[in-house]
Structure 1
C-alpha cells in the first residue's frame, strides 16, 4: 500500500496533509514512527475524527524514500 505514495496523487508534509484532511481530500495518511509526537499528534487526531486510515512507516527516512523525495518526511498522504 505504501508503494502508492510514489504516484502524483500524494502530498508530503504536515501543513499540506492537515490542509487536505480539513478539505476531505485524503484517502490514507502515512506517519513515520520516529517523527516527533507533537508534530504527528494533530494529524492522528484529525484522521480519527474523519475516519481516515493511518499507516505507520518505521522511519522518516523510509517515508521520504517511499515518497520519492530526497529528504525525510514525518507525514504523507494519498489523495482521493
Structure 2
C-alpha cells in the first residue's frame, strides 16, 4: 500500500524536514501516522493549509518508520519533488 513512499527517490522523514519542504513548496504527498501526537498532526495540517497536497494516513508510527527504512518510529514523512 505504501510502495510509492518506500520506492521514492526523493523523500523526507520527520517533522522538521517535512515542515521545511512544505515551506519550499516541494511536497507532493504527506504520510501522517494516526498515532502521532496531536500537536504534531496539527502542525503538519496547519502547514499544509490550502496547498494541494495529498495526505495519506498510516496506522502507526512504527509502520511508517519501517516503510521509510529507518529503525525508529516516524510521525510523518513526505514524497518531494526532484
Determine if the TM-score, normalized by the shorter chain, exceeds 0.5: yes
1:3 aligned residue: 3
Q: How does 1:1-80 map to 2 (within 5 A)?
A: 2-6=2-6, 7-80=8-81
Q: CA deviation at 1:32?
A: 0.2
* TM-score, scaled to structure 1: 0.92
How far apart, CA to CA, are the structure 1 residues paired with 2:35 and 2:18? 18
SS of structure 2 residue aligned to 1:49: coil
Distance 1:37 1:51 in 2: 22
Q: Which runs of 5+ in 1 are unaligned?
A: none
Unmatched runs of 5 consecutive residues or more in structure 2? none
Provide the TM-score with structure 2 as the length reference: 0.89
Deviations 1:21-72 (A, max 9, x none): 0100100000000000101211112223212111000000000011111100
Q: How many residues align?
A: 80
Partners of 1:41 and 1:2 in 2: CA distance: 22
Contact 1:61 1:71 in 2 (8 A): yes
Counterpart contact for 1:47–1:53, Cα < 8 Å: no
| Alpha-carbon distance between aligned partners in 2 of 1:63 and 1:16, rounded to the nearest angstrom | 15
Could you tell which deviates more after superposition, 58-67 or 46-55? 46-55
How far apart in 1 are the matches of 2:23 and 2:50?
11
